Amino acid sequence: MNKYPVAVLGATGLVGQHFVRMLEGHPDFEIALLAGSERSTGRPYAAAVEWTAGGDLPSQAGKTTVQPASVEAVIASGARVVFSALPASAAGAAEDALQSRGLAVFTNASARRGDPDVPVVVPEINPDHLVRAARRKTNRGGFIAADSNCSTAGLALLLAPLRPFGIRSVAVTTFQAISGAGRRGLAAMDIAGNCVPFIRGEEEKLAREPGRIFGTLEADGFIPWPVPVRASCCRVPVREGHLLSVSVEFEGAVGEDAAAEALASFRGLPQEMGLPSAPERPVIVRTEDNRPQPALDVWAGSPARARGMAVTAGRLRSRGRILDLFGLVHNTVRGAAGACLLTAELAARQGLLHE
């Protein structure tokens, strides 16, 4: 199969680097363009990037000259697919313009997540939303598919297996890694040895996005999942991995064993289709007293291409209709680049990327 040429916008950032890492040797996609801001444009990628994605910087990508994140540069590169890791402030206009030129845009940015015709996709949960958006492209040129907020990605994968028990309400408290704020997001002075109980916009996203992900698409519009989600978010001095303390209220009593079994046996379309970045088990349940931990569990997921793509659950405690548990999600992989890549793999293998 010919590979789809792809452009990575924001390729020098924390999320962009994971795209570059995960695209090396990818069976469906090959890099046609790496784009950054004016700071990086014209420099070799290896010189422009401060590599933090682990392992060696892929050598071919390192020699590539960073281009501007403009429509002209993307079109000139021959890319048919765009992975966007731009800041929200720059993403909206760029993604709109690329979509209108017929490109398929998979974005991490929140700029278009609220748009009624942009699906917020967690591939194991709502692949039908992607199909609907992609099929509409005949009228609109291309399409934009967003991934969810990084903490929401973890929360949604914990809730999806538990939905058959009947969820009434959800409360979540997050302990979020520094990398969630981007390469230059936080001064060491503010976070070293400290916790900050506020992350702008994050609680709102956690409250709102499950409604989009678990909602239904009808011919006349989108019907959100009606379950209320309350969120409290805290930044902690951890490098990678958002830890979530989740409390789920059900319609009836749910035991720990039944919940653990539902979480551990959960599978979605990406697993059925054997997509390259799909973790064999999307949710891994740990039974130790002190797991999950960012330091030990952030790279959960197998095979090798799916490292960091599994959410880890643990500390399940049931009290009648309430189940408390912890979850851990790799914020820049499962919560960002890996999620977009898995969505694009789904689109490619369902024939949604063809002209």
Ligand X SMILES: NC(=O)c1ccc[n+]([C@@H]2O[C@H](COP(=O)([O-])OP(=O)(O)OC[C@H]3O[C@@H](n4cnc5c(N)ncnc54)[C@H](OP(=O)(O)O)[C@@H]3O)[C@@H](O)[C@H]2O)c1
Provide, rounded to whole angstroms, the least separation between the CB of residue 153 and ligand X.
8
DSSP label at residue 44: B
Spell out, one character per residue from 158 to 187, where the chain touches ligand X: x when CB under 6 A holds, - when not. ---------------------xx-xxx---
Q: Which residues contact 257 (CB under 8 A, 6 or more apart)?
A: none
Interface with ligand X, residue 150, by CB under 6 A: yes
Q: Which of 25, 27, 54, 87 binds ligand X (CB under 6 A)?
A: 87
The token pair that represents 9 in the structure block? 């916008």
Annotate 238-301 with DSSP letters as a single string. Answer: -SS-EEEEEEEEESS---HHHHHHHHHH---HHHHHT-TT--SSSEEE--STT---HHHHTT--
Interface with ligand X, residue 53, by CB under 6 A: no
CB atoms inside a 10 Å sphere around CB 242:
32
Stretch touching ligand X by CB under 6 A, among 11-19, 262-270, 289-297, 305-313: 11-19
- Whether cis (ω within 30° of 0) applies to the bond prior to 58 is no
Q: Which of 20, 34, 82, 85 binds ligand X (CB under 6 A)?
A: 85
Interface with ligand X, residue 67, by CB under 6 A: no
Q: Which of 154, 279, 335, 338 binds ligand X (CB under 6 A)?
A: 335
The reply to whether 330 belongs to the active site is no
- How far is Cα 55 from Cα 162, in angstroms, rounded to an integer? 36
Provide, rounded to whole angstroms, the least separation between the CB of residue 291 and ligand X.
22
Interface with ligand X, residue 315, by CB under 6 A: no
| Dihedrals phi, psi of 90, to nearest 5 degrees | -100, -20
Task: Of 255, 155, 253, 251, give the one whose Cα is nearest residue 206.
Answer: 155
Closest to ligand X by CB, 101 or 183: 183
Q: Contact at 8 Å (CB) between 35 and 67?
A: yes
Q: Which of 46, 71, 73, 90 binds ligand X (CB under 6 A)?
A: 90
Task: Of 298, 300, 296, give the one whose Cα is nearest residue 310.
Answer: 300
Closest to ligand X by CB, 15 or 156: 15
Q: Which of 57, 71, 73, 88 binds ligand X (CB under 6 A)?
A: 88
Interface with ligand X, residue 241, by CB under 6 A: no
Interface with ligand X, residue 331, by CB under 6 A: yes
The reply to whether 234 belongs to the active site is no
- Exactly one of 150, 233, 330, 340 is catalytic; name it: 150
| Dihedrals phi, psi of 216, to nearest 5 degrees | -115, 145
Three-point CA angle 334, 335, 339, nearest 5°: 55
Q: Which of 4, 6, 7, 14 binds ligand X (CB under 6 A)?
A: 14
Positions marked catalytic: 150, 242
Residue ranges binding ligand X (CB under 6 A)? 10-16, 36-37, 39-40, 69, 85-88, 90-91, 108-110, 150, 179-180, 182-184, 331-332, 335-336
